[in-house]
Amino acid sequence: MMNPNHPEKTAVVTGGSRGIGRGIVLQLAKLGFKIVIHSRTGGEPAQQTKRDALLAGSPEVLCMEADLADHDQYNSFVQRTFDHLGSCHVWVNNAGIAPQVRADLLETTPESWDHVLNTNLKGPFFLTQSVAKFMLNQRLHNDFSTPDHIIFVTSISSTVASIQRGEYCVSKAGLSMVAQLFAARLASQGVIVTEIRPGIIATDMTASVKDKYDSLIAQGLVPQARWGTPEDVGKVVTAIARGDLNFSTGAVITVDGGLTIARL
């Protein structure tokens, strides 16, 4: 198993400035990882997460900006990341967006569909393709005794239908298959791919529906009877990063307090 405090252990978290991404960054910082925090626009949220990660124990934190729906930008982002870090041992595909308008399925527009799927599905697919090539190259030229990791943060919306944000559900269902595809492709070459499916997590993205889900949780929607937190997701990432699940490539880990348990 790797020494998580080794100074050469590095991680990248897309969408790492806030919400679930921030929770992941702070947990990895506690393990002593050097971290690249990706965000689309940068700004104070990214800088605050950087300061907090340094306080939490990371020896180095860098903020980088890129629009992951833009092919040229995400290829440049991967190149800049590996140029700066020299290598990457844990790559977390966390960045994603919700529809700008929660519209009934019969009112979903092609514009909203393209916007959400380009960011949540097409972008992560080709981003991971680029990351995988860099990871395999670094493994070819270095004697690594432990696996590298690519982690996809998807959603219970991969399998739970929400008819007011159909394009989001489709993007996450597709991303679940992307995780399976890369897990199968990279397994024999020392790169482990894992999918994490969060449930109802308290973030900026869910703030607009807080009252709705407070009521539903009180009525028993979530067996563990609480909102999830970014820290809950971050702790799963750290278990993967430590090497606790090194014989589980392709695993799907649900972080939803039991919401998706089939119940009568």
79-86: which pairs have CB atoms within 8 A and are 24 or more residues apart?
A: 81/12, 81/36, 82/134, 82/138, 84/36, 85/10, 85/12, 85/34, 85/36, 86/8, 86/10
> Which CATH number does 10-253 carry?
3.40.50.720
> Angle 73-102-157 (CA atoms, 0-180°, nearest 5)?
75
From the candidates 33, 74, 168, 182, which is the catalytic residue? 168
Domain ranges in the chain are 10-253
* Residue 100 φ/ψ, nearest 5 degrees: -65, -30
pLDDT in tens, 164-206: 999 999 999 999 999 999 999 999 999 999 999 999 999 988 8
The mean pLDDT value for 48-62 works out to: 97
Q: What is the pLDDT of residue 142?
A: 76
- Whether 168 sits among the annotated catalytic residues: the reply is yes
The pTM score is 0.94
